Structure 1
Amino acid sequence: MAEKIHLPKTIVDRANAYYKQVHDGKYLKRRSYEAIASAALYIACRKEGVPRTFKEICTVSKVNKKEIGRCFRLMVKASDTQVSFISSKDFMSRFCSNLNLPTSVERAATNIAIMAVNLDIVPGRSPISIAAAAIFMASQATNDKKTQKEIGDVTGVADVTIKQSYRLMYPHAKILFPDDFKFSVSIEQLPQF
Structure 2
Amino acid sequence: MGCSLGGLCGQSKYFQDRANEIYKKVEDLKSIRGRNQDAILAACLYIACRQEDKPRTVKEICSVGNGATKKEIGRAKEFIVKQLEIEMGQSMEMGTIHARDFLRRFCSHLGMTNTAIKAAQEAVQKSEEIDIRRSPISIAAAVIYMITQLSDEKKPLRDISLATGVAEGTIRNSYKDLYPYASRLIPSSFAKEEDLRNLCSP
TM-score computed with the length of structure 1 as normaliser: 0.85
Equivalent residue number for residue 59 of structure 2: 55
Aligned to 2:95: 84
Q: CA deviation at 1:26?
A: 5.5
Structure 2 SS opposite 1:74: helix
In the aligned structure 2, how far is the partner of 1:165 from the partner of 1:6?
26
Following superposition, the deviation at residue 11 of structure 1 comes to 1.2
More divergent stretch after superposition (53-62 vs 11-20): 53-62
Question: Quick one: structure 1 residues 118 and 29, their matched pair in 2 at CA, closer, same or farther if it must change by over 3 Å?
Answer: farther
What secondary structure sits across from 2:137 in the alignment?
Answer: helix
How far, CA to CA, are the matches of 2:31 and 2:119 in structure 1? 43
* Aligned mate of 1:131, from 140, 159, 173: 140
Corresponding residue for residue 2 of structure 1 = 4
Moved more, 41-50 or 13-22: 41-50
Match for residue 75 of structure 1? 80
Q: Is the counterpart of residue 182 in structure 1 residue 190 in structure 2?
A: yes
Contact 1:88 1:110 in 2 (8 A): no
Name which of 13, 24, 30 aligns with 2:17: 13
Whole-Å Cα distance in 1 between the matches of residues 39 and 5 of structure 2?
A: 17
Which residue of structure 2 lines up, in the alignment, with residue 22 of structure 1?
26
Gaps of 5+ in 2: 86-91
Q: What's the offset of the Cα at 1:174?
A: 0.7
Letter in 2 for 1:169: L
What per-residue deviation string (whole Å, max 9, x for no partner) do you get for residues 81-109 of structure 1? 41112111110011111112123322322
Moved more, 42-51 or 168-177: 42-51
* Segment of structure 1 superposing worse, 8-17 or 41-50: 41-50
Query: What is aligned with 2:88?
Result: none
Matches within 5 A, 1:30-179: 30-61=34-65, 62-80=67-85, 81-120=92-131, 122-123=132-133, 125-179=134-188
CA displacement at 1:135 relative to structure 2: 0.7
What is the total number of aligned residue pairs between the two structures? 190
Does the CA contact (< 8 Å) of 1:39 and 1:69 recur in 2? Answer: yes
Distance, in Å, in 2 between the alignment partners of 1:129 and 1:20 is 33
Query: What amino acid is the match of 1:133?
Result: A
2-structure distance, mates of 1:143, 1:50: 31
Residue 42 of structure 1 and its aligned partner are, at CA, apart by: 0.8
